[in-house]
Each structure stands twice: as C-alpha cells, then as structure tokens.
C-alpha cells in the first residue's frame, strides 16, 4: 500500500487551517476551556474541553450539525491544497469515507428530550433526518458527484478506519481518488458520559504522566485527499505524503477498557507495519492515542516499550483534547505536518514518568528523519485498535 496524499485540511483547537496549526503545534499556547456557552450542564464549569473557535460556527443554520460545518471547512482547504476543480471530479471514480461518532449518534437529542417530556405536537422531521443522514453522503452532495460513500462509526477509531478503508479502495482499484477523514463535535452526551465514567479530568490532560487524572474532550475535523499514482500523475498534482499501511484489530475485552495485555493494539500494529512493508528501523516516531486516562495510557505505553522500544512517542491530545470520532484523522494530519517539518512537538504538561509504564514521551521539540515513516494509533471503546502508517513528502 502506498497511496498518495495530494491535499489535506484541518481545524481543531490549535487553529482553523494547516498554516496556523503548523505554527501553533510548536508554540503550544492552547489550553482547555469551560464549555458554558455550548453545553447546558452542571459540569460545564468543572471539566474543561478543547473547543473550536466560535467564529467558525456562530452563523450555524438550524439544520446543520457542528460536525458538518467543521468538515466542510476542512474539505474546502483540502480541495484548494490539492488544486482540485470540482468539475474535473466527474471524470474520476470518486470515493468518500468519513469517520464520526457524535454526528452519527447524538444529533437527535433535542427530539428525544421533547419526546421523553411528553411535549405535544412534536415534529418527526428531526427523527426522519437522523435516520436518513450520512456525513459521507453529505460530502458527495457537496462535491456534486456520485461514487462510493461510507460513514464509519467505530467510536474513537472512526476516522483512522475511514482513512485506512479509503486507502484500501484505491489499492483495490475501486477509486481513482478518495476524500476521507473525520469530524466530530462537543455534545452533552459524551461530555457527561465521560465524566460519569470517571475518566474526564478537571485539569489540563497529561498523557503518560504519573499524575495524570483523565481526558479532556475536544472537537475538530480533518479531510485528506488520497489518489492512485496514475491519477496523481495525470493531474500533475503536488504531493504532501503517503498512506503506507493500515491495521485494525479488536481485543473484545470490555466495552470501554482495553485488554490489559494490549493484544488488540499489538495485532493492529503488526498488521499496519506488515501492510506498509517496513521494519521497526523505518519508523521515525509514534503519534500515540495518549488520552491521559489511567488504563489506556498504561496499556499503550507497555506495548510500545515491548515491541517498539526507543522509538520517540508524542501525544498530541495534550494540545487538541480527545476529538472522539475525528481524533484519528486530526492526529493523522498532525503526524503529516510533523513529518513534513522534520520535527515532532513535545507532549504538553508531561512532568513525571510513571514507573508502571516506564515511558517518557517527547518532552521537547525533536528533529526527526523525514525520509522515514510514522505511526498514528487509535484505541477505541469496544476494544477497537487501529493504526495508520504515514510517510511525508520526503518518504523514500
């Protein structure tokens, strides 16, 4: 597998485009905020989150989801980056594969609240839209093309899987070009849900730190344009990197906790590395799932120590929060930025090694060999583990 990335777009708490995020990734002048203006919850003044800037969504229409607004902006940037004229897509076999969680699951909450209260004359239109809605199909409509489309909902691994599946479509010669990625928004259900699971933190998250106290949620969107080599050469486009490999595995251990032995992650890593046809020596760094939850960091750190020891580890959720279904695509783009800058950023807030893990993530900005590959990992509810192998512009 070696599919070309000819464009990408990104927005998250670090900024609203690739250029701003590429600077802020190393400046790290970002902190979680209290979501009092977005979420009606008694917890909104206790548990901070990483939000998208209000100017992105303040003119949101009633029928639009936050996730769609975020994804549309990331997609517009990716189209410009890839120098794609929408009319030209009509001569290509197009695929769209988008990962999400909240957008596919919790955008009928207002209807449910009205129904449970027994309010009279409730309109069924929100329910009808909910049942028919697909974020991937919205992208097809927006591009005004027909083609393969799939919305992936595998919790925190959703958009990692979307990128992996999209790359397989090209590999199997089903598509010439695939628009893939993910989008998710802050919502009252996951916000209160993570708090009640007792894995949310009242402070800024500290991935892999001995004194970590849980996650901060985040939101965002990322869009990548993947192309076959033949289509890329025909368009004479610019190259930003490669999707080199993809692996996924389910440990089937618990609804919310990873298997303590890390067997699912081990298999996903093995599948991804083998599909990329690389060895451990070809890996420049790992962008870890790194949520700062007690169990997740423990398992993830142990696996890296045992099978990928001495490879630098970064945890970008310390800068973006956990963007749920969008997390994998957001982190894939951050991984690509790091590869193309030949530099990975420090893991913010890390101070003390946890002796149970014995893993120290990168604690200061570090130069890397940009001709090597990088791993981007997602560990999800339901025991799902997915890994991408990415190469930058200089990958050999």
List the CATH number of the domain containing 347.
Answer: 3.40.47.10
396 is a domain residue: no
Distance of alpha carbon 22 from alpha carbon 337, whole angstroms: 7
Residues 391 and 239: beta-carbon distance below 8 Å: no
394 is a domain residue: no
Distance of alpha carbon 182 from alpha carbon 68, whole angstroms: 10
Q: Find the catalytic residue in 12, 51, 81, 156.
A: 156
What average pLDDT does range 117-126 have in this prediction? 83
Sorting pLDDT into bands at 50, 70 and 90, what band is 119? confident
- Identify whether 367 is a catalytic site residue: no
Q: What is the pLDDT of residue 64?
A: 86
395 is a domain residue: no
Q: What digits encode the pLDDT tens for the residues 72-117?
A: 999 999 999 999 999 999 999 999 999 999 888 877 777 888 888 8
Long-range CB pairs of 33-37, under 8 A, 24+ apart, other chains included: 35/186, 35/191
The share of the chain scoring above pLDDT 90, in percent, equals 84
Q: Average pLDDT of the chain? A: 94
**Count: domains in the chain:** 1
132 is a domain residue: yes
Q: What digits encode the pLDDT tens for the residues 210-229?
A: 999 999 999 999 999 999 99
214 is a domain residue: yes
**Domain that residue 304 falls in:** 3-382
84 is a domain residue: yes
Residues 243 and 6: beta-carbon distance below 8 Å: no
Q: What digits encode the pLDDT tens for the residues 299-351?
A: 999 999 999 999 999 999 999 999 999 999 999 999 999 999 999 999 999 99
Question: Is the entire prediction scored with pTM above 0.85?
Answer: yes
- Identify whether 289 is a catalytic site residue: yes
391 is a domain residue: no
Q: Find the catalytic residue in 12, 97, 322, 345.
A: 322
Q: What digits encode the pLDDT tens for the residues 368-382?
A: 999 999 999 999 998
Q: What is the pLDDT of residue 235?
A: 92
Q: What is the pLDDT of residue 105?
A: 81
249 is a domain residue: yes
Distance of alpha carbon 291 from alpha carbon 216, whole angstroms: 8
- Identify whether 108 is a catalytic site residue: no
CA dihedral sign of residues 315, 320, 325, 328: negative
Q: Find the catalytic residue in 250, 289, 323, 333.
A: 289
Q: What digits encode the pLDDT tens for the residues 132-146?
A: 889 999 999 999 999
């Amino acid at each position: 597998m070696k599919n070309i990335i000819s464009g990408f777009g990104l927005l998250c708490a670090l900024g609203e485009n690739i250029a701003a995020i590429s600077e802020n990734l190393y400046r790290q002048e970002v902190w979680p905020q209290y979501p009092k203006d977005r979420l009606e919850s008694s917890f909104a003044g206790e548990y901070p989150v990483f939000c998208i800037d209000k100017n992105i969504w303040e003119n949101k229409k009633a029928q639009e989801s936050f996730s769609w607004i975020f994804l549309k902006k990331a997609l517009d940037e990716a189209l410009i980056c890839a120098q794609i004229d929408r009319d030209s897509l009509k001569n290509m076999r197009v695929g769209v594969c988008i990962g999400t969680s909240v957008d596919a699951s919790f955008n009928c909450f207002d209807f449910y609240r009205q129904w449970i209260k027994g309010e009279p004359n409730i309109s069924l239109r929100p329910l009808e839209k909910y049942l028919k809605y697909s974020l991937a199909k919205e992208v097809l409509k927006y591009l005004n093309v027909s083609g393969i489309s799939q919305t992936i909902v595998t919790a925190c691994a959703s958009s990692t899987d979307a990128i992996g599946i999209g790359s397989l479509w090209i590999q199997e010669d089903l598509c010439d070009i695939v628009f893939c990625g993910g989008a998710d928004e802050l919502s009252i259900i996951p916000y209160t849900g993570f708090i009640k699971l007792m894995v949310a933190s009242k402070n800024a998250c500290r991935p892999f730190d001995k004194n970590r106290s849980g996650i901060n949620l985040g939101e965002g969107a990322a869009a990548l344009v993947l192309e076959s080599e033949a289509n890329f050469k025909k368009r004479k486009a610019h190259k930003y990197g490669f999707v080199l490999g993809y692996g996924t595995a389910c440990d089937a251990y618990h609804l919310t906790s990873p298997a303590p032995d890390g067997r699912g992650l081990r298999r996903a890593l093995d599948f991804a590395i083998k599909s990329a046809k690389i060895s451990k020596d070809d890996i420049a760094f790992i962008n870890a799932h790194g949520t700062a939850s007690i169990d997740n960091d423990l398992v993830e750190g142990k696996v890296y120590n045992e099978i990928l020891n001495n490879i630098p580890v970064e945890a970008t959720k310390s800068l973006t929060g956990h963007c749920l279904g969008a997390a994998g695509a957001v982190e894939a783009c951050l991984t690509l930025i790091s590869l193309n800058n030949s530099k990975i950023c420090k893991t913010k807030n890390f101070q003390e090694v946890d002796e149970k893990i014995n893993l120290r993530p990168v604690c200061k900005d570090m130069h890397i060999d940009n001709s090597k590959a990088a791993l981007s990992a997602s560990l999800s509810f339901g025991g799902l583990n997915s890994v991408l192998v990415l190469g930058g512009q200089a990958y050999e």
